Amino acid sequence: MYELDCAGVIPGCTRIIRAESQAEVIRRAVVQAKQLGVDTITPNLMDAFRNRLTEASVH
């Protein structure tokens, strides 16, 4: 399981996005960004998604 705390990455986002794969977390982050009014997903934003992505510990 992977997760991304989108606070500080996507303006106005307070969610923690979780999914089974890194690619799915990033896909969901892109959708979330667009829903919050980010018109253009820049290379810098994609880098921020990748850099903040973590592997979630399974309890």
pLDDT tens by residue, 25-34: 999 999 999 9
Domain count, the chain: 1
CA dihedral 3, 9, 10, 12 (to 10 degrees): 100
pTM of the model: 0.88
Q: Tens of pLDDT along 8-53?
A: 899 899 999 999 999 999 999 999 999 999 999 999 999 999 999 9
Alpha helices in 1-59 (DSSP H): 22-35, 43-52
Whether the CB-CB separation of 25 and 7 falls below 8 Å is answered with no
Q: Which domain holds residue 40?
A: 2-55
